[in-house]
Structure 1
Amino acid sequence: MGLKHYSMGSWDMKTMFHCCLIIFFLGGLATLRFFRNNNLEAVLIISKVKVTDLTSTTTNINTSTPVFDDPRILNIAPPSSTDSCDLFSGRWVHDNKSHYPLYKEHECPYLNGDLACLTYGRKDSKYQQWRWQPNDCDFPRFDGEAVVKRLRGKRLLFVGDSINRNQWDSMICMLQSSIPGKKEVNSKGHNGTLYSFRAHDYNISVDYYWAPMLVESNGDDPFDHRAHLRVIRSKAIEKHAKHWVDADVIIFNSCLWWRLPTVTLLKSAGSLMGAPNQVVEVVDSPRAYKMALETWSKWVHANINPSKTKLFYMGHTAAHAWATDWGGKKHETCYGETEPLMDYKFWEIGTDPNILRILESSLSKLKAKGVNVQMINITQLTQARRDAHPTIYRKLWRPFTEDQKKKPHSISDCAHWCLPGVPDIWNELLLAYIFPSTAIAYQ
């Protein structure tokens, strides 16, 4: 009787099975609805998207010591991923109420006079108030105190040309007001090749090393070089690189000096730059750039332990030297521009896509060998910012002549960037990658 009491017919079994399916389905919908509603109420959805490993290593490298101790993973995917957020695809939004500028010129005692545009006579300041807004997500806005705590005991090193120095100036101006105690900037290298911002109480060092073409070149003296001629020793890098090895984070950039059509290769090993009877070869800039990056890549692979040092390469930036690029008059430049371009497909003529493809290929080859150099792809976002350059509003090494004063377009600096301004955005993006605990909010 007992067995008969608990037995079920075939119709009852089917009914129970179908009911279970329905309950399971409705439960799943309820769960999804719960998470969706809660996330909408919170506005920001924290996505657990897998990201490129910032500390990928080769198999023979000890990975037991991470660069920055944090168990969480940065929820930013590289720009090549199609199923995740691209921080570098977006638009400029004017924002004079919430966040920008991040500092004021007079609040940063270390600011290079070449970049202090308001101090040297610029009247408009709207260029300081533009926020970069990615299309489908957002990145963490700068929090100086939080960054300083994470940087304690670390050395950040910017290596490259004057655009990288521009970014270094931005970084120390962003950080310095959040660091108590003794702070100073010193020149540590021969003839001004190495500058160091030191925060002694926090043991923080944010350094800049002048190596405009990464390899040895006739531009290795920061103050004594010619703008119209580029000569490199394409296989020689150790003279520079010996200053890089003990950094916790290295940010490379070399773009401005490759904009000339040709570069001269010096083939006389060990000879002085400019010495007589040298054996040279003149090649196009993309070919020379590829050779320089091959030398740089070999050094990185042989000398950098990715479990101890994070590596980044900044994208190439625009130089708005020809107003005809955006429909302006012939012989005019970025001088007098006060608004960004709103054409986000704009591409100024001096930014060579071949150079960018060579860089991307070099970084891909390094990654295949176990060394991840993360590209901070700021190239497109700088294209629109014709309004943000120093032009004539900068510290002068010598006064303008009367003829130059009549032709301000001819003497305008349209390559570098006013501070505060666009490079602060680069550093916000860079810091989002340096500190992998930062989450990305999807719109």
Structure 2
Amino acid sequence: MGGSSPFKDQNKQHSTTTTTMTTFFSFWRFLPYTIYAILPMALFRVYFYPLPVPQSPTDRLPRSDHILVAPSLSSPRQAEKAGGDAVTEAPPPPPPPPCDYASGKWVPDKSEPLYNGTTCVLIRDAQNCIAHGRPDLDYLYWRWKPHQCHLPRFQPIKFLQLVRNKNVAFVGDSLARNQLESLVCMLSTVSDPILVYRDGEDNKFRKWNFPGHNMTISAYWSPFLVKGEENFPDYNKLYLDSVNERWAGDLGSLDMVVLSFGHWFVHPAVYFEGGSALGCHYCTGLNHTEIGFYGVLRKALRTSLKALIARTRASGRAMDVLVTMFPPAHFEGDWDKFGSCPKTKPYQEGEKLLEGMDAEMRKSLADEVEAAKADARDFSGIRLEALDITKLSLMRPDGHPGPYIFPFPFADGVKDRVQNDCVHWCLPGPIDTWNAILLEAIKRWRGGEMNR
């Protein structure tokens, strides 16, 4: 009667409780359907968009050369001696397998040479084919195209960058010098070399410095690599168990050596080993056994590579060694009887086979390089490789000076007999490709620098 009924609140509470219970039971009744709806969506998300795996603290470190362990601290014992814990990083992937530059073909290329007789004053007169009046210049416009890879055009700046602060030496005969002069000419298009040393007849020992990169390139005359006495056209004398100290004595200051030899071994010679005469080649009238020169060539390279490896190991320095394979000559007729090389185009593939002396010389050198690699397998301080330029050189009979070792040899009319040079190569010319392959070897090595 005027007051509120207590049952009114109870009814209200009962109504609320009933609603709550209804909602509760409805939730549990529909929960399975909700799960069935969400589960496929969750599986779809995880399958197609997996969550990232959290990185470890070391993975989040910024990449920096400063956190790499120096080679001298690569073992736990060495790191312990140095004090503190060594910070390690996974080694970089190994360099890619080398391209087979030995197999390919010459294709036309309209690109101009990097240099000529005007821009490079280092070209010797005998190889300066353009200045000496060679009329056909098609030999300049070919490019070596390997079958399974690409050989880039030589990059002078890249070469200088990769050999910064290094001392590079070309050791061997006049073809080693030919290759060196090609290289220096190409480098001189971006940096002026300074001749800092010269010595010997015909300046057979020279050194250039590229001050912008603190790099030197040296020429060492040593046509046998081993100790020898040059008595051409009489009998040369070779001491097969003694390396020529004229170049080997400087190994302690060299970082890269390019060996190139072979042609002098076809000349008459007497060979010595162990203090006595071993035999001779083309030695009619001498009381020595004729033994040919293939085995002698092998012994000379073997002696040289063993000395190089042993001295590099003893010095603790790192050394890169490349051996330029035998480049064939192209005389039509005897070289000493006015043989010539008149062709003006490369051979097509299959037109000229690698056989006979050229094939045997290449095989002899290649076998010795592989044997030396095996000898040095447990020594990470030396890298050794063959520059296999034999076939690509064989296919370029047009790349030699021929009669243009002399200035304008036919100015007074065509002569019946003119001395030809079918061994050395015009500059510029096909020999520039040797150095393009040299650069690719260095690029691959530097790519695996931390594997050293």
Query: After TM superposition, is the score higher than 0.5?
Result: yes
Q: 2:354, 2:391 within 8 Å by CA — same for their partners in 1?
A: no
What is the aligned-residue RMSD (CA, Å)? 4.0
AA matched with 1:380 = K
- 1:337 and 2:329 aligned: no
- What is the CA–CA distance in structure 1 between the aligned matches of 2:200 and 2:94, rounded to whole Å? 35
- What is the CA–CA distance in structure 2 between the aligned matches of 1:385 and 1:191, rounded to whole Å? 28
Q: Please give the residue correspondences for 1:229-268 in structure 2 after superposition, counting only pairs within 5 Å.
A: 229-240=235-246, 241-260=248-267, 263-267=269-273
**Residues 74, 228 of structure 1: CA spacing in aligned structure 2 closer, same or farther, 3 A cutoff?**
farther
- What is the CA–CA distance in structure 2 between the aligned matches of 1:74 and 1:378, rounded to whole Å? 25
AA matched with 1:122 = R
- What is the CA–CA distance in structure 1 between the aligned matches of 2:425 and 2:402, rounded to whole Å? 9
AA matched with 1:176 = S
Cα offset for 1:76? 5.1
What SS does structure 1 have at the residue aligned with 2:392?
helix
Cα offset for 1:167? 0.2
- What is the CA–CA distance in structure 1 between the aligned matches of 2:417 and 2:92, rounded to whole Å? 55
The structure 2 residue matched to 1:207, chosen from 195, 218, 224, is: 218
Q: 1:74, 1:438 within 8 Å by CA — same for their partners in 2?
A: no
Percent of aligned positions that are identical: 26
Alignment-derived partner of residue 53 in structure 1 = none
Higher RCO (CA < 8 A, seq sep 6+): 1
Alignment-derived partner of residue 90 in structure 1 = 104
How many residues are treated as equivalent by the alignment?
Answer: 362
Point out where structure 1 has 5 or more consecutive residues left out of the alignment.
25-55, 65-70, 79-84, 220-224, 272-277, 325-330
Q: Please give the residue correspondences for 1:346-425 in structure 2 after superposition, counting only pairs within 5 Å.
A: 346-347=352-353, 351-368=357-374, 369-370=376-377, 371-395=382-406, 405-408=415-418, 411-425=419-433
Cα offset for 1:146? 3.1
AA matched with 1:254 = F
AA matched with 1:253 = S
- What is the CA–CA distance in structure 2 between the aligned matches of 1:291 and 1:189, rounded to whole Å? 27
**Residues 356, 194 of structure 1: CA spacing in aligned structure 2 closer, same or farther, 3 A cutoff?**
same
Q: Structure 2 length normalisation: TM-score?
A: 0.69
**Residues 405, 198 of structure 1: CA spacing in aligned structure 2 closer, same or farther, 3 A cutoff?**
farther
**Residues 435, 160 of structure 1: CA spacing in aligned structure 2 closer, same or farther, 3 A cutoff?**
same
Q: 1:214, 1:254 within 8 Å by CA — same for their partners in 2?
A: yes
What SS does structure 2 have at the residue aligned with 1:232?
strand
The structure with more radius of gyration = 2
Cα offset for 1:244? 3.4
- What is the CA–CA distance in structure 2 between the aligned matches of 1:279 and 1:72, rounded to whole Å? 59
Cα offset for 1:210? 0.8
Q: Structure 1 length normalisation: TM-score?
A: 0.70
**Residues 242, 349 of structure 1: CA spacing in aligned structure 2 closer, same or farther, 3 A cutoff?**
same
Cα offset for 1:165? 0.7
Q: Please give the residue correspondences for 1:114-133 in structure 2 after superposition, counting only pairs within 5 Å.
A: 114-133=126-145
- What is the CA–CA distance in structure 1 between the aligned matches of 2:357 and 2:351, rounded to whole Å? 13
Q: Please give the residue correspondences for 1:7-406 in structure 2 after superposition, counting only pairs within 5 Å.
A: 77-78=97-98, 85-96=99-110, 98=111, 100-180=112-192, 183-184=194-195, 186-188=197-199, 192-219=203-230, 225-227=231-233, 229-240=235-246, 241-260=248-267, 263-267=269-273, 269=275, 282-305=290-313, 308-322=318-332, 333-344=339-350, 346-347=352-353, 351-368=357-374, 369-370=376-377, 371-395=382-406, 405-406=415-416
Cα offset for 1:256? 1.2
Q: 2:251, 2:312 within 8 Å by CA — same for their partners in 1?
A: no
Q: Pick the structure with more helix per residue.
A: 2
AA matched with 1:111 = I
Alignment-derived partner of residue 51 in structure 1 = none
Cα offset for 1:297? 2.5
- What is the CA–CA distance in structure 2 between the aligned matches of 1:340 and 1:309, rounded to whole Å? 36
Point out where structure 2 has 5 or more consecutive residues left out of the alignment.
1-27, 50-70, 80-90, 278-285, 448-452
What SS does structure 2 have at the residue aligned with 1:421?
coil
Cα offset for 1:141? 1.8
What SS does structure 2 have at the residue aligned with 1:365?
helix
